[in-house]
Each structure stands twice: as structure tokens, then as C-alpha cells.
Structure 1
Amino acid sequence: MAADYNLTWRLFDQQQACPSVLDGVSLVVNCAGPFAETAPWLARLCVECGVHYIDIGGEVSVVQQLLQLDASARSHGVAIVPACGLASIATDCLAQALLKKLPTPTHLRFAVEYCHLPCRGSVESVLLALLGWRKGLSVAAGSLRTAVLSLGCLPLSRRERKIEVSPWGSKTIQVGFDGQIRHATLFPWPDAFCLYPSTQVANIESYLVLKPWEIRVLKMVPYMSPFLQLPLIQRSMLARLPANYVPKFPIGGQNRIWAKAISGDHEAQGWLTHKPGQHMSGYDFTVFGVLAVAKRMLANRDHPVGFCSPAQVAGDDLWHDIVNTELWVDSQ
């Protein structure tokens, strides 16, 4: 690929990583998952070398490890910006827009819908992949692998500034998109960690829109979790996952992200989606989003350092740089 685009390249792994491999580099964009295997050591190397680090991951356990680099990153003048993909860029921009309408909210809630048209959902795609199916899956191969490796993770939220863990399927809400009601369940998005430094809101919850039967399946995960986390079982499941296929995203499908800020009897809602008639999957959004963050960081070197959210380093109008995206807010 580097040869096709006349680009320079460097090849190294954790054992070969040393400061010299980042000579002449000012910013690293980590797109190599599973991020549990790449992000911690690569971010530490970036801090040591004084190089800014961003990634497109979102695994909570990884974000927690990167958060521990905050003090060291600050002392080295380095920004650590994880989760620069669909969920965190969108929720971060929405949070900043809501804070302008409701400056001191006590609660922030988010919900992500990967596609507003009928298609195989996230849970359905993972189940079918484990059965050897590869046609019509809406989840990419790398995401399937991450899902299997994350079976032990539980949904979490921030409650009165402290992290709270909840069983799968134990918290559900109904979300309105264009007058249509969608069901969503609490999900281990990294917003409780990524957005707290920039918003300082005491209560943060993030949900994933799923089909009702998918939510019922997730409620069974706690009973199977000890079995599913066994190394032998995980290796067996990983071996069954299809590798070479293209995720199926319906033509005209849109990612839609909802947010609500609450302060006493007052609330404000916001939505971020693609303009009508535009076709873009969550993976496309991630590509445009992380590139927008990187470009803005390189253009403005006077951005915050340490552990940061995307909007902190790239501005709360970041969504303007993501093609065919629109955001609007309704306050009550």
C-alpha cells in the first residue's frame, strides 16, 4: 500500500519499539486492532518520544490504561486521544453542543444507532459469524475479533462522578429518531471515561440501539461469561470467525447518534447524523473523523495535552469536517 501511494513506511512491533522508530514523526494514528494488543505500548512509546497519539479504538479496558498515562503525557507535552471513531467523536461534539444550551447539566445520555434501515444488527452479526456465516454481516472482521475478546466486559456508566458497572441488558431506554421509537441498552462505550474530562458532568450513560431480541440475548451473557472467557473457548471462537469479507451496509443507511442533557426540570436533546440521501457506514465515519482530528491537531499545535477527548484537541465544531454530517439541538 505504501508503494502504491509513494509513501514511506516503517515496520516494527512491541519488541522492536524504540525511540528511533518515531524519528521525524509528530503524530501517530493507531488503526491497528485489537487495540488491547497495540495501544498501551504504542502510546507509552509516543509519550517517551514526545509524539502525539490518537487511535480509533474504544475498548474500555484500553481507554483506562491510556488514562493512566495522563500525568506523564502532560509532562512531555503529548496529547493522548483515544476512541476517535464514530461513537466518541459524535458524542463529544453533541455533548459540547448541549452544554451551550444547558451549561450545567447533571446528566448526559447518549445512544448510537449504526443503521436506521433494516439490516443484520451487531449482536446478530456476531452470532452468525460464530456459526461460520459471512454474507450480509454488518460488522467488520476486526470488530468481530474485538467483540469476542471483550466478552468479559460489562456495560458501565459514570454515576455521581464514580464508575458504575451494570449487568448486560439491565438498563434500557427508548430513543426517538424522526418520530420513530428505538430500543437501546447500556453498552460499554468509553464515553464515561473519554468525555468526563471535557464536560465534568457527574452522570454519563451511553447506549446502543439494538433489536429487542438482541437485548434479550445480551441479558444471558452474565450466565455464560465465565465459560466464554476460557482461553480454549476464545481461541475456538476466534478460529471460527470469517476473515475475508466486506461488511454489508444498506444503501441509504445512516448512522444516527442521540444525546440528552438534563439539569433539574430542564433538558436539551441533540442528534448527529448524515444528510438525507447520503450513504455512510460507521467505518466510513471513523475514517473521515480520525483524519479530521489529525489534520486539526497538525494545523493547530497549541492544543491541550494529556488525556483528551477529540473535541478538546480538535474543537467542538469538528463535525463540520466530516463529509455530509449534520448536527442539531432542541432544548426544552
Structure 2
Amino acid sequence: MSPPWLLYGANGYTGELIAREAVARGMRPVLAGRSKQKIARLAAELDCPSAVFDLDDHTALVSTLTEVAAVLHCAGPFSQTAASMMQGCLATHVHYLDITGEIDVFELAASVHDKAERSGVVLCPGVGFDVVPTDCVAARLKQAMPDATHLALGFDSRAGLSKGTAKTAIESAGKGSCIRVDGRLVTERLGARTRRIDFGAGEKLGVSIPWGDVSTAYYTTGIGNIEVYTASSQKSVDSMRRANLFRPLLRQRWIRELVKFSAQRRVTPPDKTQRDNNPTYVWGEARNAAGEVKTARLRTANGYSLTVHSALGILGAVLSRPCNPGFTTPSLLAGADFVSTLPGSSTIRIDP
């Protein structure tokens, strides 16, 4: 039997998917979150222990963490929740995993690497679709081209959005886009970069986005110049560019909350049929100083389905074997080919 672990945010869309799969695998996580009614109902249905507390309640957080060996944190936006959970894990010597794709959270985890080492804690944010497939592609490209100086990553996903993902996107919109240049994070306007990309299902327009790999791929590969793209339409790119006019407004919390409330009323998360019938195509390109290029492609399951299996797979690895403490990335922890072991995933193909 695996050591006890906590699933915080179990009542959210992705958290509930993970909870159900965990129980189907014979696990009994402690299901936790802020909503007493939702957590109690899910825990009773799945016959799991539960805990209800707000992350601002440090006493309740620490008290709960002392009873578990690891946390799988699924309550976003992580820019608002990750710091409290990480601090609690460091204080109680509990391993920390989450499913974020937010650059600031990865940078926060990297900044407390030394504290995590001293605490004996693994900090591995981004164990879901953000950023497992792209992180594995980055690692394989680095192996194929050790002298790479530039890295571009991207994906073509036809999945719908959960309410949590929509909230996170709104939180980050006010900050603009982001790339890495010579090792430094550089903010850009939304929609600043576009290019034509064959992600794996035919050439499409790609637009740069502030995806987590702008942070994590640097720690995985050491490559100093990184961009991330997603498949888009020209209409969507034009909308992103117009949104730059409203970025100053989105920096005000009350306006973000109003926009998030409106978005949540309109968002309908994908159901099982939609998840099962919408694979994702992942692409990467490494280039060295001589202008040589290597391209990688990968096909995976829908992002939400992949998140369930990748998060539980990496959690299982952390609970079952000794791991070096400190901040790490999914591919450094589980291996560059980890994504190819997940249901619905192909191997990573490198060309030429």
C-alpha cells in the first residue's frame, strides 16, 4: 500500500477526474478543498478520507499535511494558491506536485530549491498536460542536439476548457506573453509572435503564449532562448492583439474577478466523449549556432486525460522510490520518454 497523500482541489474538474482514477487504481487519497459540501459528497461516493480547509488557514494546512507523505495540488489559479501550499509542504517535509502551467509558479519553486533540499522535499510543479509532453519533447531535443541555442515548443489541442483553466488564463492575461532570451524571462505583448507550424496534423498558424515551458524547459535543457506556440486562427490572434488594450485593466483584481465570474458562466468543460475524441499534437524545434535544426513531434491523448495519468504516474514514482529532493521538472524526475508510456501517447519522433 502506498503512503497516504493529499489531493487538494479534488472538487474541481481535473481534481475530480484524478480522484476517480486514483480510486479505480486502488488508491485512497485524502480528498481536500474549500467546499465542504462538494468534498464531503465526493469523499462519501469514493469512500476516501477528506479534509476541508482554506489555504490561508496555516494551522489547518499544517495539521493536515503532517498526516501525508505528498500533495498533488489541483486548485488554481496557482498564482494565488501555490505559495501557501509549498510553504506548508516545506515546513512539514511533504513532497509537492501540482498541475500548473503558470511561469511564476515554476520560478517560485526554483527559487526555494535549496530550502526543499534541506527539507528533503521534492518540488515538481507541472505534472499534467502543463508541462509533461512539451517538457519531454524539450529533453529529447536536447539529447538529439546537445549544442542547441534556441528551442521552440508548441501544441495543437482541440480540447475545451475547464472553468479552472479559464480562470487561470484570465489571471495571466494581464501580464502579457513571455519568452526566454539569453536565459532571461522577457515579457511581450499578447500575440506578438506568429509562425506557420506543422504540429503533426498539417500546417497551421501558431501564436506565442506564456506557457510554462518558458520556465521549465530552461531548467530541463539549459537552452537560453525559448518560445512556446499554440495552434490558432488569425481571428483569435487578432483578438489577442486587441486584448493588449485592456491588459492594464486586468491588473486590477476586482476587474479580473468580474471577468472570471462571467467566463465561468459560459464555460462548459469537455465531457468524456469529447476528451476521448480529441487528441493533442505536440511539436518542438531545436536550433544551434550553425543553423542546424532538429524537429520533434508527438501525439498524446486529450490534455485533461493526459493530466490524470501523468499526475498519478509521477506521484507514484515519488511515493515508491527515493528521489533527489529540491525543485525539478517532470522529465528530469520521470525521464524524457515518460510521456510515451501514458495511454494515448505515441513515441517522440525526431527529424531529421
Fold match, TM over 0.5?
yes
Letter in 2 for 1:253: N
1:48-106 CA-to-partner distances (Å, cap 9, x unmatched) read 11111010011223333222221211121211111122131001111122222212211
Which structure ranks higher in relative contact order (CA pairs < 8 Å, sequence separation ≥ 6)?
Answer: 1
CA shift digits 1:160-212 (9 cap, x unpaired)? 11112211111112111346211111111111211212211111111111111
Q: 1:306 aligns with which of 326, 331, 352?
A: 326
**Partner secondary structure for residue 287 of structure 1:** helix
| Structure 1 residue 31: Cα displacement | 0.7
Larger displacement relative to structure 2 (185-194 or 226-235):
226-235
1:269 aligns with 2:291: no
Give matches, 1:114-193, under 5 Å: 114-115=157-158, 138-178=160-200, 180-193=202-215
Q: TM-score, normalised by structure 2?
A: 0.81
In 2, the alpha carbon distance for the partners of 1:151 and 1:328 equals: 31
User: In structure 1, what is the Cα distance between the partners aligned to 2:251 and 2:128?
Assistant: 26
- Asked whether the equivalents of residues 176 and 247 of structure 2 are also in contact (C-alpha less than 8 Å), the reply is no
The question of whether the paired residues in 1 share the 8 Å contact of 2:340 and 2:348 is answered with no
Q: 1:293 aligns with which of 297, 300, 314?
A: 314
Counterpart position of 1:127 = none
| Structure 2 equivalent of residue 322 of structure 1 | 342
Summarize the Cα distance change of 1:3–1:15 in structure 2 as closer, same or farther, 3 Å threshold.
same
Equivalent in 36, 39, 43 of residue 86 of structure 2: 43
Cα 1:225–1:178 change in 2 (3 A) is: closer
Which of 239, 242, 249 in structure 2 is aligned with 1:217?
A: 239
Q: Is the 8 A contact 1:141 1:242 kept in 2?
A: yes
* 1:93–1:311 CA contact under 8 A, matched in 2: yes
3-state DSSP class of the match of 2:286?
A: strand
The 10-residue stretch of structure 1 (309-318 or 2-11) with the greater mean CA deviation from structure 2: 2-11
- The Cα offsets for residues 113-148 of structure 1, whole Å up to 9 and x where unpaired, read as 112xxx8xxxxxxxxxxxxxxxxxx21111112222
Q: CA deviation at 1:110?
A: 0.3
Q: Is the 8 A contact 2:154 2:199 kept in 1?
A: no
- List aligned pairs for 1:60-71, cutoff 5 A: 60-71=103-114
2:66 aligned with 1:57? no
Partner SS state of residue 179, structure 2: strand
User: 1:111 aligned to 145, 149, 154, which one?
Assistant: 154
Give the counterpart of 2:270 among 222, 240, 247. Answer: 247
**Unaligned 5+ runs, structure 2:** 1-41
Find the aligned partners of 2:297 and 2:324 in 1 and give their Cα distance. 27
TM-score (norm 1): 0.85
Q: What's the CA shift for 1:286?
A: 1.0
Contact 2:56-2:84 within 8 A present in 1 as well: no
Residue of structure 2 aligned with 1:8, choices 30, 35, 49: 49
What letter is aligned with 2:228?
Answer: S
Moved runs in structure 1, 4+ residues, more than 4 A? none
Contact kept? 1:87, 1:112, Cα under 8 Å = no
Task: Quote the offset at 1:298 in angstroms.
Answer: 1.6
- Partner residue, 1:30: 73
Residue matched to 1:257: 282
How many percent identity over aligned positions?
25
* Pair 239,100 (structure 1): closer, same or farther in 2 beyond 3 Å: closer
Which amino acid letter does the alignment assign opposite residue 52 of structure 2? L
Q: Secondary structure at the match of 1:220?
A: helix
Q: Secondary structure at the match of 2:205?
A: strand
Report deviation, 1:237: 1.9
Q: 1:316 to 1:179 in 2, by over 3 A?
A: closer
